[in-house]
Amino acid sequence: MKKIVITRRINPAMVDKLKKDFEVVVWDEDNTPMPRQRFLEETKDAHGVMTMLSDKVDEEMLNGAQNLKVVANLAVGYDNIDLEAAKSHGVIITNTPDVLTETTAELAFTLILTSARRVLEANRELMAGEWSGWSPYHMAGTDVFGKTVGIFGMGSIGAAFARRLSGFRTKIIYHNRSRSEAADELGAELVSFEELMAESDFVLCAAPLTEETRHRFDKAAFDKMKRSAFFINIGRGAHVVEEDLAQAVRNGDIKGAALDVFENEPISDAHPFTDIPNMTLLPHIGSASVDTRNNMMNLCVNNIMEVLNGGKPITPVR
């Protein structure tokens, strides 16, 4: 029987589906990944693997996994995977595009409004019993309507986010490797990185991580932003030089930031971001709705089954 390794607890119905035809090993501890050593051990004789972000699929792992045919990554991003190495070992990599687009755009929208309207600060004040009364500027935030929103990375998530802005009468500008048809339809304007940073009241980073975008948001980039502007990141933490962002927010060079992703996840309460009040921080939950996570798992399971049954992957990474 071919063996499949799954590095997290997933929907049991999907494990049962796989168990009909395969031997399945699941790391069944909630919220913790299969430890690296165990991952290397278990994948030695595996034919298929379902991974998440923190599982590194690299030369070391691939060298040890001689039977491996397919790795299904439970994410649209695949920066945890060495694609070149996978190719040279003849291993197919799949991801989960499309099924998470709308859910992730909703989280981006949640972040923009939460930070603009100081929702977490206001909630913390109330919960701490510190709401002492009403005054005109008490917890006064920033309007989103009528502002300029800049999107870095106009892929499907960036476009789904931009579509949601239509009721807010915002001007939308974007920076992308190439012109986007979806953005054109929304009347969004393609601009340089410098223009994006300088003109936006809200900058949303929704790009996949590449070597060109790694640490793109550094001091020089934040220095270009308006002092009244917000930075929002739902892409990858490594787009940002975190120290530079912390400084920019602390010094008041920008108004605030909202982040769902960090360079080294998970972060703890010792991370410098956690004592900055005008930072909205979430534990990488962009695609975390039950429906979407089920759809993502289902797509991974189907990709693995297709490949191991001699068919073609449904959503291969190219």
- Catalytically active residues, by annotation: 236, 265, 284
Q: With binding defined as CB under 6 A, does residue 155 bind ligand 8YV?
A: no
Q: With binding defined as CB under 6 A, does residue 105 bind ligand 8YV?
A: no
* Closest distance of CB 231 from ligand 8YV, Å: 18
Helices (H) and strands (E) in the chain, counts: 12, 12
Site string for ligand 8YV, 260-289 (x = CB under 6 A): --------------------------xx--
CA distance 22 to 38: 20
Q: Are residues 179 and 190 in contact, defined by beta-carbon separation less than 8 angstroms? A: yes
* Closest distance of CB 233 from ligand 8YV, Å: 11
Exposure string of 195-211, with b = 16+ CB inside 10 Å and e = fewer, is ebbebbbbbbbbbebee
Contacts of 228 (CB under 8 A, 6+ apart): 142, 201, 255
Distances from the Cα of 107 to the Cα of 10, 51, 158, 204, 293, angstroms: 22, 23, 12, 12, 14
Kindly tell me which of 280 and 287 has the beta carbon lying closer to ligand 8YV: 287
* Closest distance of CB 162 from ligand 8YV, Å: 19
* Closest distance of CB 210 from ligand 8YV, Å: 13
Q: With binding defined as CB under 6 A, does residue 81 bind ligand 8YV?
A: no
* Binds ligand 8YV by CB under 6 A, chosen from 5, 46, 77, 300: 77
* Interacting residues with ligand 8YV (CB under 6 A): 52-53, 74-77, 100, 286-287
